[in-house]
Amino acid sequence: MQHALHLHALGGAHLSDRVDAIVVGAGLSGLVAATELADAGRSVVILDQEPEQNLGGQAFWSLGGLFLVDSPEQRRMGIRDSLDLAWQDWLGTAGFDREEDHWPRLWAEAYVAFAAGEKRSWLRQMGHRIFPIVGWAERGGGSATSHGNSVPRFHTTWGTGPGVVEPFERRAREAEKSGRIRFLWRHRVDNLVRTGSAVTGVAGTVLAASTALRGEETSRTPAGDFELNAPIVIVASGGIGGNQDLVRQMWPARLGRPPAFMVSGVPKHVDGRMIGITRSAGGQVINRDRMWHYTEGLRNWNPIWQNHGIRILPGPSSLWFDATGKRLPAPFYPGYDTLGTLQHLMATGYDYSWFVLNQSIIRKEFALSGSEQNPDLTGRDWKLTAKRAIGKKATGPVEAFKEHGEDFVIAESLGELVAGMNRLVGSNLLDVAQMEREILARDGQVANPFAKDAQIMGIHNARRSLGEKLVRTAKPHRILDPAHGPLIAVRLNILTRKTLGGIETDLSARVLGENGEAIPGLYAVGEAAGFGGGGMHGYRALEGTFLGGCLFSGRNAGRAAAAALG
């Protein structure tokens, strides 16, 4: 009866009597796992609670950044990197300090080796290409053994997020034509089916069809139920970033109080349901208090999903002030230490902060996260991309936010700017004299090619990297110099994004139970598994590592599951 329901939902399509594997989630990690299984000759069903237009999940919306080590792109730019240096940076960033970090650390070590090894060539043979300028994310600002990337490692996909999804969507569609992969859209898994100690299938609700655009909220109206059995089930359902109630519930005390207001960096359907369902089926979930949220979120003036937030990817020159007008201390500068900055800001008692900059800085240093905010890179348009390096204007999407975004204040004088900032938040927290002292003191540091201000020192350091000098870091100048105006202030909100903890797995991506033993038939990948092992990032990320974790864990799971099937 339930099998017949599937046939009806598929419009008469024929589903083979035997299915080798079920993948729950049609995002990047699920597509990778499914295509690896299909390439090994296995039959796979991919279920997703959303409609087909959401194929690729959150990876589609991303900038497509990938963490690579000692790549040809780095070497061409004179960047000296190595596996040893990258592993040192990873360990200093992750801060593994728990008994539960056994498998996450092993996953991290394997992943960094993958990033320094076959990751690039594996993707390249599928048609993936990389923009030639390497970015420098999470610069740290502490000691050599603490958090941060010692060198630029952020490799942007030519084609952004869609360019990462593309090779695996193509492989999946080819396998679909040959009958090795079937997609069941609007199938929400509510339970994992167990036979003895093994997971042998999934059961849930068929949701009403939806024509909502990608990312838009869809209904949860039931249209039936289903059960599907297979010897392998792979959970690839993503994290909790779209469920703000759950984010606040898991919020760690070390980051202060949970923000009262946050913008959402992912759609509402990124709800964490399958993590709880896997836990109910006996899977161990670890490091739930580890998460990755950004401090540079904007309210999207043209939103796709509810409370849609966009992150500024900043260069190092904007001055950062808290809500009361105090300049943030070292090393909490733009692009240096995401969670350190978040912890500092939460201690101020306010959910927002400010960038103060000018037109010369926004033109060169502001990029926005998301494939839809970078039409030049997403559309693989070299002519449009080249405009990033010329003229007085920023990219079209950045200028649109400057014009329409409710978080922006533009002014010709500092007094006018501060008055506008106070009006925007409905308070008089900001004092123009105090802010002028800070900005003038900072401006006095740019007269020489050396300085005592750590942020100015960081700007000089950044411009020693060719990529930063060309497209990401403005030449040092006085912020209050009218020649570089107008002045700009940007209200920054906390933006939810990634789940760093998750379902505990071994290196084959098999889900582990509370006794530490693998649950037969059950695997977990991607963000649901903390990108590998239940949290391979530890407490912090080096960036470019989220998509990479989906790729690596999906590949491991697909190959291990295919081998387990014999």
Label each residue of 116-156 as H, E or C. HCCHHHHHHCCCCCECCCCECCCCCCCCCCCCCCCCCCEEE
Please write the tens of the pLDDT for every residue from 480-525: 999 999 999 999 999 999 999 999 999 999 999 999 999 999 999 9
pLDDT tens sequence across 12-25: 333 445 899 999 99
Inter-CA distances, 313 with 63, 370, 417, Å: 10, 10, 22
Residue 3 has pLDDT above 60, yes or no: no
Cβ atoms of 222 and 186 closer than 8 Å: no
Report the C-alpha gap between 249 and 372 in whole angstroms. 31
DSSP state of 75: H
**Count of Cβ atoms closer than 10 Å to residue 391 Cβ:** 8
Residue 18 pLDDT: 82
Task: State residue 289's pLDDT score.
Answer: 98
For the segment 335-345, the average pLDDT, to the nearest whole number, is 97
Q: pLDDT, tens digit, for every residue of 451-476?
A: 999 999 999 999 999 999 999 999 99
pLDDT of residue 392: 86
Give the pairing of strands 181-185 and 222-229: unpaired
Q: What is the mean pLDDT of the chain?
A: 95
3-state DSSP call for residue 330? coil
Residue 329, pLDDT score: 97
Cβ(159)–Cβ(377) below 8 Å:
yes
Q: Are 539 and 95 in contact (CB under 8 A)?
A: yes
Instruction: Place 391 in a pLDDT band, splitting at 50, 70 and 90.
Output: confident
Look at residue 64 and give its three-state secondary structure: coil
Give the model's pLDDT for residue 120. 98
Query: Is 46's pLDDT higher than 50?
Result: yes
Share of the chain above pLDDT 90, in %: 95
Q: Using CA atoms, how far apart are residues 35 and 421, in angstroms rounded to an integer?
A: 51
Distances (CA, A) of 223 to 5, 9, 218: 10, 9, 14
| Mean pLDDT, rounded, for 45-64 | 98
Taking Cα atoms as reference points, which of 418, 415, 476 lies closest to residue 445?
Answer: 476
Closest residue by Cα to residue 6 from 204, 194, 232, 198: 204
**Per-residue model confidence (pLDDT) at position 475:** 96
Q: Tens of pLDDT along 274-293?
A: 999 999 999 999 999 999 99
State residue 389's pLDDT score.
81
Token couple for 327 = 């300049």
What is the model's pLDDT at position 8?
Answer: 36
Which amino acid, residue 183?
A: F
Dump pLDDT digits (tens) for 224-262.
999 999 999 999 999 999 999 999 999 999 999 999 999
Q: Which pLDDT value is given to residue 501?
A: 98
